Amino acid sequence: MEFYSSQISNLVEQLSRLPGIGSKTAQRLAFFILNMPEDQVAGLAGAMTSAKKNVRYCKQCCTYTDGDICPICANEKRNHRQIMVVENPRDLAAYEKTGKFEGVYHVLHGAISPMAGIGPSDIRLSELMVRLQGDVDEVIVATNKNLEGDTTATYISKLVKPIGIKVSRIASGVPSGGDIEYIDEVTLYKALEGRTDM
């Protein structure tokens, strides 16, 4: 039985497709949006449409940006000889919140997971290897401490070590099975400081 008009039901259905949004939260958001002033709704819709149309991958690190190069890669004060490899842009943001890492990043947009059919060619490893042809001293592998993250870290180490670039892995301050984006800044900083050679 339909409780709402087709317009409201459609809005609820679209919102419930977002990750972490169940049907109750989708309903709550739908009614919140319906009660917003029209100019705010237009602003929200416009921001989503504009982001979808204009945001792309940074040509250097593969994070999301609305320019050719993201602000971190464009910053000449950053140490471009030290690259931290992370699984997704949320992990990059988590490390940036520590305010302690002065190098640059490389975003893989995933991790190797044979069980899920995700291989090395499905993530941004080839772009990393192109970057490593430049002047790089160290690659810090900051993938999640789970099976997929560890598999990816080992694979990266096997690719990079023969080039003669130092490869290190974040320390175990990050709990096994934990996702980096949910870990507090102090723990992330200690994991970075305590990294070990691979």
How does pLDDT run across 4-25, given as a tens digit for each residue? Answer: 788 999 999 999 999 999 999 9
Residue 175 has pLDDT above 70, yes or no: no
Are domains 6-54 and 64-197 of this chain identical in fold?
no
Residues composing the chain: 198
Residue among 4, 179, 168 nearest 101 (CA): 168
Q: Would you list the domain boundaries of the chain?
A: 6-54, 64-197
Tell me which of 143 and 187 has the higher pLDDT. Answer: 143
pLDDT at 196: 63
Confidence of residue 1 (pLDDT cuts 50, 70, 90): very low
pLDDT at 113: 94
Instruction: Provide the pairing of β-strand 56-57 with 64-65.
Output: antiparallel
Residue 127 has pLDDT above 80, yes or no: yes
Confidence of residue 98 (pLDDT cuts 50, 70, 90): confident
How does pLDDT run across 21-31, given as a tens digit for each residue? Answer: 999 999 999 99
User: Which CATH number among 1.10.3720.10, 2.60.120.10, 2.40.10.170, 1.10.8.420 corresponds to the domain 6-54?
Assistant: 1.10.8.420
Instruction: Provide the pairing of β-strand 56-57 with 138-141.
Output: unpaired
pLDDT at 131: 95
How does pLDDT run across 34-77, given as a tens digit for each residue? Answer: 999 999 999 999 999 999 999 999 999 999 999 999 999 999 99
Mean pLDDT confidence for 135-149: 92
pLDDT at 182: 65
pLDDT at 2: 61
pLDDT at 171: 72
How does pLDDT run across 63-75, given as a tens digit for each residue? Answer: 999 999 999 999 9
pLDDT at 152: 95
CA distance 47 to 77: 31
CATH code, residues 64-197:
3.40.1360.10
